[in-house]
A and B are shown apart, each in its own frame.
Chain A
Amino acid sequence: MSQLGAIVTHRNGAHALPRSSKNKKTIQTGFEAPETHMRRYSAFAIAREAARYHSGWERAWASPQPKKKYDVIIVGAGGHGLATAYYLGKNFGITNVAVLEKGWLGGGNTGRNTTIIRSNYLQDASAAIYEKARSLYETMSQDLNYNVMFSPRGLIMLAQTEHEVRGYQRTAHANALQGVATEFITPQKVKDLVPIINISGPRYPVLGGLWQQRGGTARHDAVAWGYARACSDMGMDIIQQCEVTGVRRDGGKVVGVDTSRGAIDCDKLGIVVAGHSGVLADMAGFRLPLESLALQALVSEPIKPCIDVVVMANTVHGYMSQSDKGELVIGGGTDGFNNYTQRGSFHHIEETVRALVETFPMISRLKMLRQWGGIVDMTGDRSPILSKTPVEGIFVNCGWGTGGFKAIPGSGWAMAELMAKGHSPLAEEFGLNRFKEGRFIDESVAAGVAH
């Protein structure tokens, strides 16, 4: 599998690029902060450490005590929050930033998704931000000097009804106009790409597929870790086990947050907390058009390489790819009811596995190793919210629902611009006012896709 070879080549950041001069600030934290910058990961670093029993590796990010005040506080050290902080520093030079996390960084949906990256959306606004994200994934390992194992192995969304065929042909045409490289392929091409697939049914034969050759997967934890390391290197404070318990306002403007580690002041506050967005909004005194639902995923026991693309089957409701460890990574749909427990209903696992067994008969004897849930925040039109809020200085980045991981870099890029400049072309269509004005970005109905 060629992409595995590519990953090995990229591992440990063999592609050294010159450091951006913007990154050259010392870390200003109180907690054993190194005087100098993080050491770069490289092939040379491996050799150096090998020669001294790997005693010289340093912590990837600092664990500082919170300061009294920051220019910007981001709540939520998941992928989106850390990416927001990273691009605030990298694109706008704003580095007096704290990222607050009630658990551990990357421990929410960033570490719970099925790592799929694609940008084959129907609506222009979606295609723009998801394609921005996908293109940033292409160079992320080099940009962050951290191997995120981006694997553009290709992604197929199966068309299994006549309606889906028409829908995906329409999407392929829309993507051509948007500059997103996708094509509608025949069942035979699907079979050539995925020899283990059963294209003849039993319930829904494969009638074609929407193929995005540069779609794929990445190592989800590494995305959070890479951003965290780069943020820490810019002098930002990533404060874990620090739960926000209240938002302090002075009139209509935010002045800070109360946390489990004391009050912290800020000029601007970014709420980037996925499933708990509604809880934070409630603290700040406004409401969001969101509902929090459980979404589950599971992995099989590891087996030899058998599928080197990502396959999504939205009619029967399941999707699958193979991780570098050999596990089949499987996901399906959300539960139908509000839930904050990070565990979902058993019958959804059954439904997902049933769909995939009929699509890939050879997996029927596989054991499933692990199963877990995450809490996703769903909007009415199934598109995200990147927006100012009724409280001056508070910005929200939420509503990514079941499809947030693929968007992380684009989301952070747009959110940082929104917070720094007050507007962002990428985020413009995703404002809260779209619900009142009826400007929905209706991916769920128009494209008929799961994320």
Chain B
Amino acid sequence: MLILHCPYCGVDAEETELHAGGEAHLKRFGPHSSDEDFETYLFARENPKGVHFERWRHANGCGKWFHAARCTATLEVFGTYSAQVTTPPQAIRDAITAKRPGWSWRDVQ
């Protein structure tokens, strides 16, 4: 059972309390953007086998969206963090580096 710590209400929420929201830190493109950018925003996903950043919602809890850093190859959770950021904070990156030296995700390292 996947358990994520909600950074807002402080609960260690198990999976049935949570709603998965897909890949985190997408750059949004709307009207007047190029076809490539719009396609990339809608469909291109990292889908890594390894370190991944995701959006989750504490749906059956405080209801807030937050971010999580996970490993898709082992289901290990590296940490959760605020939704109010556009890249993973340094503390999360350090936590990942401690366990997965040399990791990268998009242009984040």
Contact = CB atoms under 8 A, between A and B. Distances in A.
Interface stretch (B5-13, B70-78, B84-92, B94-102): B70-78
B29 to A, nearest CB: 13
Given A345-B15, A436-B36, A380 B47 contact: no
Tell me if A's interface is mostly helix, strand, loop or mixed. Answer: mixed
Contacts of A53: none
Contacts, number: 57
Given A337-B54, A338-B54, A345-B15, A436 B35 contact: yes
Interface stretch (A77-85, A142-150, A286-294): A286-294
Interface string A76-117: 000000000000000000000000000000000000000000
A345 B54 contact: no
A192 to B, nearest CB: 38
Interface residues of B, number: 25
Interface string A137-172: 000000000000000000000000000000000000
A338 B2 CA distance: 12
B49 A340 contact: yes
B46 to A, nearest CB: 8
A287 B1 contact: no
A380 B52 CA distance: 19
Contact of B2 (A287, A288, A345): A345
Which of B48, B54, B73 has most A Cβ within 10 Å?
A: B48
A347 B45 contact: no
A338 B52 contact: yes
Interface in A265-284: 276, 278-279
Contacts of B49: 276, 278-279, 292, 340
| Listed residue (A278, A290, A292, A340) with the most chain B CB atoms within 10 angstroms of its CB | A340
B1 A380 contact: no
A292 B72 contact: yes
Q: Which of B2, B16, B44, B45 has its CB near the most chain A CB atoms (within 10 A)?
A: B45
B92 to A, nearest CB: 17
B21 to A, nearest CB: 9
B37 to A, nearest CB: 11
B72 A435 contact: no
Interface in B18-58: 19-20, 22-23, 35-36, 39, 42-45, 47-49, 52, 54
Interface in A289-343: 289-292, 335-341
A449 B43 CA distance: 21
A290 B47 contact: yes
A31 interface: no
Contacts of A287: 44
A338 B72 contact: yes
B45 A340 contact: no
B36 to A, nearest CB: 7
A347 B1 CA distance: 8
Interface residues of A, number: 23
A436 B19 CA distance: 28
Given A336-B20, A435-B43, A341 B54 contact: no
Contact of A339 (B16, B35, B36, B72): B72
Contacts of A340: 49, 72-73
A289 B43 contact: yes
Contacts of B42: 380, 435
Contact of B1 (A276, A289, A345, A379): A345
A278 B52 CA distance: 14
Contacts of A436: 35-36, 39
B47 A341 contact: no
A341 B74 contact: yes
A341 B36 contact: no
Nearest to B47: A278
A426 B27 CA distance: 35
A380 B42 CA distance: 8
Interface in A343-381: 345-347, 379-380
Contact of A291 (B1, B47, B74): B47
Contacts of A335: 20
A361 to B, nearest CB: 25
Contacts of B35: 436
A32 to B, nearest CB: 36
A337 B45 contact: no
A380 B43 contact: yes
B72 A346 contact: no
A291 B21 CA distance: 13
B80 to A, nearest CB: 13
A380 B75 CA distance: 23
Interface in A422-451: 435-436
Given A338-B48, A341-B75, 4 more contacts: A278-B47, A289-B44, A290-B47, A435-B39
4 closest Cβ contacts across the A-B interface? A336-B20, A289-B43, A278-B47, A337-B20
23 contacts: A278-B48, A290-B45, A290-B47, A291-B22, A291-B45, A291-B47, A292-B72, A336-B20, A337-B2, A337-B54, A338-B23, A338-B47, A338-B48, A338-B72, A339-B72, A340-B49, A340-B73, A341-B73, A341-B75, A345-B2, A380-B43, A436-B36, A436-B39
